[in-house]
Structure 1
Amino acid sequence: MKDTLEKILHMNQLEREQYMSTNGDQLLEQMTKIIGYPEDELRDKLNYRLFIELLSTNVLTNEQMAHLTIKLSGKDYLYSSIGKTEDDSVFTRSFSALWLAALLYADAQLRFLTEEQSTEILEVATPYLMKELDVRGFLGDKGWALAIGNGSELATAIVSHPSFKLHLTSKLLEGVKASFWKGSVYINDEEESFAKLIGLLISKNVAEEVLIEWVEQVFDKLEFYLVTNGYTPQYFSARTNTLHFMKQFYFLLKFTRRMPELMGAVSIFIGKWSQQ
């Protein structure tokens, strides 16, 4: 498979179009089978790279893109072995999220999905960030897992899509809040991707009071856990993740000059919890 991917990557645009016209469906089937292969070179540097090139150069047909989007949002890909934290299934979920994000961004421009299909896929994919529990980053020769970061990118693509509906906001916010409590401190800029996501929700006119209430709930959870369980490793990792995110979020609000009441609430909580 490596030889095939390398050969296609080295083709010019015309050669690639000719190849895809006769072999495209078969190639995409083979590529999805190895979407989560636990080796960095094959999965990331060859397979994912070729997918992005095919997508960005308009070589894929509308039917192929629609088929891929529907397929990758299902239980065998985005939700494959969801809930597991120490096996290689994370690569299938993480890269399905990454491919799906790219496809949703493309569909926002090309509209190869029907309205019914896009609405259903957004509904199905929205809980992913909440359900994903594997927080690992770089895994040696296997490469980057980054399921939480890629899940956040998928969530951003969902909010960016023309079929996005505001009722999905609560699940997305719950997914971000849940991500603070997954037992590890993030070190790969996940908090920046969360802030970008919430900033995009603000641009979609999510009510300021909704976000203020969410911020209060985030810190209420910290308070309740501390009172109930004390100073555990779980508490400290969640506190660190929460404060790192809130500081990113504060500066996003400050620079965009939107929602001053929300910015004030975030500032007060940062001040309070930075002392604990």
Structure 2
Amino acid sequence: MESKLKEVLQSIKTNDYQLPDQFNLQELTTMMLQRIGAVDPVIRDELIHSIFTALIDNGAYNSDQLKNILQSILNKNYLFYKIGSSKKEEDAVFKRSFSVLLIPPILKQHRTAPFLKEEEVHRVWENLKKYMQQESDHRGYVDGKGWAHAMAHAADALNSTASCREITTQEVEGMLPVIREQFLIDQPYLFDEEERMVTAVLTMFKKMEPDDRVKWLETLIYQRKSWDDPKEDIIINNSKHFLRALYFRMLEGDYRELRQVLENLLRELRKQEAY
């Protein structure tokens, strides 16, 4: 079954994303949604994700079809699949992380030619916020299974959704503390997750007042609770890497005042280092 599926999907990708005669678009969409969290990284990432993105970008889906896909992935069977019950070593994260990765191409279409109601865009944001609050599997690349990368994928979705005119300053400010909680954790980020999230944060900053940006940045200074627990060093490093990523991204653009704030914060953070 897996080999047959892979063969069909590969033929679609090879044929410039044209569907074979025996498939219609709805059949293909249903099949891909059913296997969106496949453990096989070729099926999940190189084929299903690639095909979905190409079809959406190329306008293969009409507005109603895009709405249906979006509605499907924002539920307990996709974005929230086993989110409170699966262990870190289990494979449920692949379904969640590749569901969230469908949001950016759909929202890109909405920004180009709006088809979602304002409340529907707000619903996407609220579901992303709930997802961010609940996701606890922070693995990046998993040997033999490919990318999980849940937080990087969530960052892409946040960036795409925050770019929508419907998202308000209040919504953005409500998300930033959640991002802070996800990055000041005692598990190291190893695969540029902070870089992807910085992209989203800078998009969100466009909807905020300068003073409110600074207030949030100051919350990224972690106050060490123990000098003997190595987990504290992981949290400090996560904070440092996030602030550094922000700083270097701000070398471009009119961010001189914020760069000075970040320099001061990084100096302050050094006081928390154990060496």
Q: Do the structures match in fold with TM over 0.5? A: yes
Report the 3-state secondary structure (helix = DSSP H, G, I; strand = E; otherwise coil) of the residue aligned with 1:156.
helix
Question: C-alpha deviations, 1:126-178, integer Å up to 9, x for none?
Answer: 33223211111111221111001111111111111222121112332122211
CA distance in 2 between counterparts of 1:166 and 1:191 reads 22
Give me the whole-angstrom Cα distance separating, in 2, the residues matched to 1:202 and 1:134.
27
Instruction: Note if contact 1:31-1:47 (Cα within 8 Å) is conserved in structure 2.
Output: yes
One-letter code aligned to 1:183: D
Tell me the TM-score normalized by structure 1: 0.88
Q: Equivalent of 2:8, from 4, 9, 15? A: 4
Report the equivalent of 1:158: 161
Tell me if 1:140 matches 2:129.
Answer: no
Report whether the alignment pairs 1:65 with 2:66: yes
Flag as ranges the 4+ runs of structure 1 deviating above 6 A. none
What is the distance in 2 between the residues matched to 1:174 and 1:86? 27
- List gaps (5 residues or longer) in structure 1: none
Q: Look up the match of 2:47.
A: 46
Q: How many residues align?
A: 266
The Cα of 1:122 is off from its aligned counterpart by 2.1
Whether contact under 8 Å (1:127, 1:171) holds in the other structure is no
Q: Which among 243, 255, 262 is matched to residue 246 of structure 1?
A: 243
TM-score (norm 2): 0.89
**Structure 2 segments unaligned to the other structure (5+ residues):** none
1:271 aligns with 267
Q: 1:190 Cα shift?
A: 1.2
Aligned counterparts of 2:42 and 2:250: Cα–Cα separation in 1: 39
2:182 counterpart of 1:179: yes
Amino acid at match of 1:252: R
Match of 2:217 in 1: 215
* Residues 128, 154 of structure 2: 8 Å contact kept: no
Match of residue 230 from structure 2: 233
**Equivalent residue in structure 2 for 1:202, among 199, 202, 205:** 205
Residue matched to 2:36: 35
**How far 1:242 sits from its partner (Å)?**
0.6
Distance 1:141 1:218 in 2: 34
**Distance in 2 separating the partners of 1:217 and 1:127:** 21
Q: Identity over the aligned pairs, expressed in percent?
A: 23
Q: Is the 8 Å Cα contact of residues 37 and 92 (structure 2) preserved in structure 1?
A: yes
Q: Which moved more, 1:147-156 or 1:249-258?
A: 249-258
Residue 255 of structure 1 aligns with which residue? 252
In 2, Cα distance between equivalents of 1:149 and 1:33: 22
Q: Residue 254 of structure 1 aligns to a residue in which SS?
A: coil
Once the 2 structures are TM-superposed, how far is the Cα of residue 37 of structure 1 from its aligned partner?
0.7
> Pairwise CA RMSD of aligned residues?
2.1
CA distance in structure 1 between the partners assigned to 2:100 and 2:255 by the alignment: 30
Q: Secondary structure at the match of 1:70?
A: helix
Deviation at 1:259, TM superposition (A): 6.0
Residue type of the partner of 1:45?
E
